[in-house]
Amino acid sequence: MLALGLDIGSRTTDAVWLADGEIVDSAVADSGFDPAAAARTLADRRPVDVLVATGYGRHTAREAFGCGVVTEIKAYATGVHALFPEAAGALDIGGQDTKVIALAADGRVLDFHMNDKCAAGTGKFLEVMARALGFTLEELAERALAAPRGVAISSMCTVFAESEVTGLVHRGADRGAIARGLLESIARRTLTVVRNVCTGSPLVFAGGVAKNPAMVLLMREGLAGREVLVPADRGVDAQVVGAYGAALVAAAS
């Protein structure tokens, strides 16, 4: 049986195909202006027996495909638990939201938190800041890692932080230090939420932002005493963990 999980996010639409519980393929596409079309293009790649959608566009997918839906919380919890049965919690930083999930030993969601309105500190925030600094996302991470210390950034609002960054660049601050400062400020806020919601170890850091090695390093430093794992440890793209979870839900249905 071939099962497809689609995670239709604000920035990207991710797909994972499962056969007998094993990932046979995965893909990441731009959600663009028409997430339903992006989802359809991915779904049309191969005929599947069952499909479950998650993410911000899940209800659009339900209308388009008549498929089942689960929230990102359940999808990430399922995906993380399957990859790391020992995980006590999951942190997902995606395109426009941040989620922290506390997991029971059997993978059930015990508690969760997600940002309610503002996209501060998410993937979109990093994209905007990278652009303001003239970096690609990869360069942003590399330069932040190379910088000995960060410049303090006081704004977390995307718009205000962008002007703050522009101002710092104009005053001649080192761009790598600014990049590090930005990541440190995201890490600080994220760590507060992690500590409130999930105290266990190991914690799995997933979602697109988990592909940023500087963020992973900062989370590991901030959670000293706890193990922080990333999907790459199991050979899985951090960005498709939600789609993987949705595919597992589909396969079990």
In angstroms, the CA 150 to CA 178 distance is 6
Query: Which DSSP symbol is given to 155?
Result: -
Q: Using the rule CB under 8 A, is 116 a contact of other proteins?
A: yes
Complex with other proteins: residue 101 or 179, whichever CB lies closer: 101
Which residue stretch of 71-79, 84-92, 219-227, 233-241 sits at the interface with other proteins (rule: CB under 8 A)?
Answer: 71-79
Pick between residue 112 and residue 205 the one whose CB is nearest to other proteins: 112
CA-CA distance, 217 to 135, in Å (whole number)? Answer: 19
* Six-digit token string for 177: 């230090």
User: Which residue, 71 or 155, has its beta carbon nearer to other proteins?
Assistant: 71
User: At 219, phi and psi to the nearest 5?
Assistant: -65, -40
60 binds other proteins (CB under 8 A): no
114 near other proteins (CB under 8 A): yes
| Burial call 79-113: b when 16+ CB within 10 Å, e when fewer | bbbbbbeebbbbbbbbbbbbbbbbbeeebebeebb
- Least distance in Å: CB of 30 to other proteins? 19
Nearer to other proteins (CB atom), residue 94 or residue 150: 94
- The verdict on 124 binding other proteins (CB under 8 A) reads no
Site for other proteins in 27-56 (CB under 8 A): 56
Give Cβ neighbours of residue 197 (< 8 Å, ≥ 6 apart).
89, 100, 101, 102, 111, 112, 113
26 forms part of the interface with other proteins (CB under 8 A): no
Residues 90-109 that bind other proteins (CB under 8 A): 97, 108-109
Q: Which stretch binds other proteins (CB under 8 A): 13-21, 110-118, 156-164, 169-177?
A: 110-118
What φ, ψ does residue 46 adopt, rounded to 5°?
Answer: -155, 145
Take residue 208 and report the two structure tokens written for it. 């697109």
Residues that bind other proteins (CB under 8 A): 56, 70-74, 97, 108-112, 114-117
